[in-house]
Structure 1
């Protein structure tokens, strides 16, 4: 069979599905704006589309996002027409619709069923919007609702074309409107528990800058009181301000603890820091006066890590903290659990689908920095509790979210059923 996979930064969520389809002898073609893998990657033909233009200067701010997605949809339409002219006729199309790329696929291949990745449908309540009063824009709710309505437009235009949806968590699936929600199957992308596993012999040399401003290389090993916090980019949506505000108390109560914070100063989801300093610098400048230099020197900031170093970091981590607004969860949460780290996480959104409080980790109110500090300190002081929580967390990952035995087979089954005749139209 022939499959077309669309993702702006391919492979993205298709990083396991695409090569698995190719390994089964299917012809797999991928289209992306900035593919992260080369053509021929694991048997997948990877192509890049090129937009013909950029966004219009001075356009109404509410429709900048929509126009950008239309420009990409038009570019993919042209690339799809070239593929069809070359004889490519997919049996199914699987797409992440958030960037608009899959919007016009039915115009090119009207008989090819479309399956879409349902990451998040923006809502006025129960998500990141207005969740954190400290950074709320305070715009009138009617204006916010109108803006979100426009922001959801491109996803909404997929609902009458897509045969089925795939969502990694029930929380994310339930953000979608009822007419399409019943078409969504919940299947997480999964974590390779054979790779992300505990290793008592793991060691790691890590270069970074301490909170005291010194460039250092730390030698880390399993068994130390190591506290880890990982974001792609430090930002309030992922709780960097709450975590940093808890650090002075943690470091004061645990004089043998060390902290590694991995992340960059860009923007992933939320707004940029308005003064240009970046969120990490802003919040560190806020909390640093609350701790002596010797405590600040026990915090290491690392911009990014290679994949193998990231794995080892989680393996040597004693306590891993994951904080988030009600939003899309991070793969790092599941990977930390798979490595057997004791996790302290925010009691928000999809996080509850992975962590049961006091069984597979600790859940704390997102804004309660005092409780966060106490939970971290308690775990750092109790190796037995860390071992119990970490073992239970890994067991849950193996039983419910293992890539090879659970998630990938279910994802492949979803694609197979996508290719079956739509009985509702016969």
Structure 2
């Protein structure tokens, strides 16, 4: 099978999947992208195995993206750039798999390709009380009701022009208008359980050289950005409470100071990052925190394997891969009591949950886990078993292969 993957960045959601399809089944996997990503960073094996073509973008996008009223016009220009590159390179294939909307403007390819088009349906933004507007404890941004309509327009056009679509989780599929649900199947991306796996605890050497010995406890927070949508400030509030109760805990945070989603500069006044704002506002003990920034997967696996507890205080939004990675490492995870977390965690069996805004309850649960770790070890083991059985590459890649073959051959979707 010859598959063309289209995405704004590489590897994003498709890099590891394409590498597995090439390795396991001998598929030819090519990419049409704008840039190579730093989160996650492409591996050497990806760069050596996969055929990557870059689309020149002129003019380059401004840092932080386009202003929301210009999103749709910018997407139309992006469509033109991709179409020109596609025609110039002659990229014909048996199947096109693309991240719809802003991630990959596939709408203009409908008349250019004879192959079926699969749309990766990552998320459809609601207009209120979800994702961007869920944090009712923070001042709302004036543009919040308008931005989703601008960003959803390309997503719907891409889905309308695709032959089929898939989402990694039911929550993500269900975020789309109900009339599109029959067109969207659920197929998860796949977690590398050879990398993210239970390992013996020992000394942890952080990327910055700091050493965490066997006698110290580690509580982790991981997100692409240390921002309000992933509840970084709520994590700081919980961590500060834990720090007052226990002197042996280090709080290790991986993620950029950049805000990728939402308008955290409204809260900070633009004078500092949301990380700095949260630490100062909550008077957090800075010497108890270790901030790693973006780190390579191998370093992240080492951190998560050494973690005694992982916190995931997210709003209802696309679940982070780090959430699955922590579970794969047999960590006890406390997640927000929201739909995307509850789809994965069976409370009390494969993880723990707490109401997002009840930081006292989060702290109480966290202190229980840290005080009696042996009682909670079965939860971590059950979490690792769940990821291995349902969400691992070994479980997901064959499923996605079958799905791609079915769409490429024109067979109807599963009921």
**TM-score, normalised relative to structure 1:** 0.87
Quote the offset at 1:221 in angstroms. 5.0
Count of aligned residue pairs for this structure pair: 400
Quote the offset at 1:243 in angstroms. 1.1
1:271 and 2:263 correspond: yes
Aligned to 2:400: 411
Aligned to 1:361: 351
Aligned to 2:115: 112
Aligned to 1:254: 246
Instruction: Decide whether the 8 Å contact of 2:229 with 2:315 is kept in 1.
Output: yes
Aligned to 2:85: 79
Determine which structure has more spread, i.e. the larger CA radius of gyration: 1
Cα distance change, pair 89–298 in 1 and its aligned pair in 2 (3 A): closer
1:122 and 2:112 correspond: no
In 1, distance between residues paired with 2:171 and 2:73? 28
Aligned to 1:300: 290
After superposition, residues 61-210 of structure 1 pair within 5 angstroms as 62-84=68-90, 88-99=91-102, 100-109=104-113, 111-125=114-128, 127-137=130-140, 139=142, 145=145, 147-206=147-206, 208=208
Quote the offset at 1:242 in angstroms. 0.8
Provide, for residues 147-197 of structure 1, a one-character-per-residue CA deviation record: whole Å limited to 9, x for no partner: 433321111112332111111110000011123211111111111222211
> Which sections of structure 2, spanning at least 5 residues, go unmatched?
none
Task: Classify the secondary structure of the residue corresponding to 1:165.
Answer: strand
Structure 1 range deviating more: 319-328 or 222-231: 222-231
Cα distance change, pair 335–63 in 1 and its aligned pair in 2 (3 A): same
Task: Classify the secondary structure of the residue corresponding to 1:378.
Answer: helix
In 2, distance between residues paired with 1:363 and 1:152? 30
Provide, for residues 388-412 of structure 1, a one-character-per-residue CA deviation record: whole Å limited to 9, x for no partner: 21111111111211111x1111111
Task: Classify the secondary structure of the residue corresponding to 2:271.
Answer: coil
Cα distance change, pair 61–302 in 1 and its aligned pair in 2 (3 A): closer
Aligned to 1:230: 222
Instruction: Decide whether the 8 Å contact of 1:233 with 1:265 is kept in 2.
Output: yes
1:240 and 2:246 correspond: no
In 2, distance between residues paired with 1:160 and 1:305? 37
Cα distance change, pair 43–207 in 1 and its aligned pair in 2 (3 A): closer
Instruction: Decide whether the 8 Å contact of 1:130 with 1:136 is kept in 2.
Output: no
In 2, distance between residues paired with 1:222 and 1:396? 27
Cα distance change, pair 286–82 in 1 and its aligned pair in 2 (3 A): same
Aligned to 1:211: none
**TM-score, normalised relative to structure 2:** 0.90
Task: Classify the secondary structure of the residue corresponding to 1:16.
Answer: helix
Runs of 4+ aligned residues of structure 1 deviating over 6 Å after TM superposition are: none
> Which sections of structure 1, spanning at least 5 residues, go unmatched?
209-216
RMSD: 2.4
In 1, distance between residues paired with 2:290 and 2:182? 46
Task: Classify the secondary structure of the residue corresponding to 2:175.
Answer: coil
Instruction: Decide whether the 8 Å contact of 2:196 with 2:328 is kept in 1.
Output: yes
In 2, distance between residues paired with 1:165 and 1:410? 14
Instruction: Decide whether the 8 Å contact of 2:188 with 2:396 is kept in 1.
Output: yes
Cα distance change, pair 221–419 in 1 and its aligned pair in 2 (3 A): farther
In 1, distance between residues paired with 2:89 and 2:206? 46
Cα distance change, pair 33–55 in 1 and its aligned pair in 2 (3 A): closer
1:391 and 2:381 correspond: yes
After superposition, residues 306-317 of structure 1 pair within 5 angstroms as 306-317=296-307
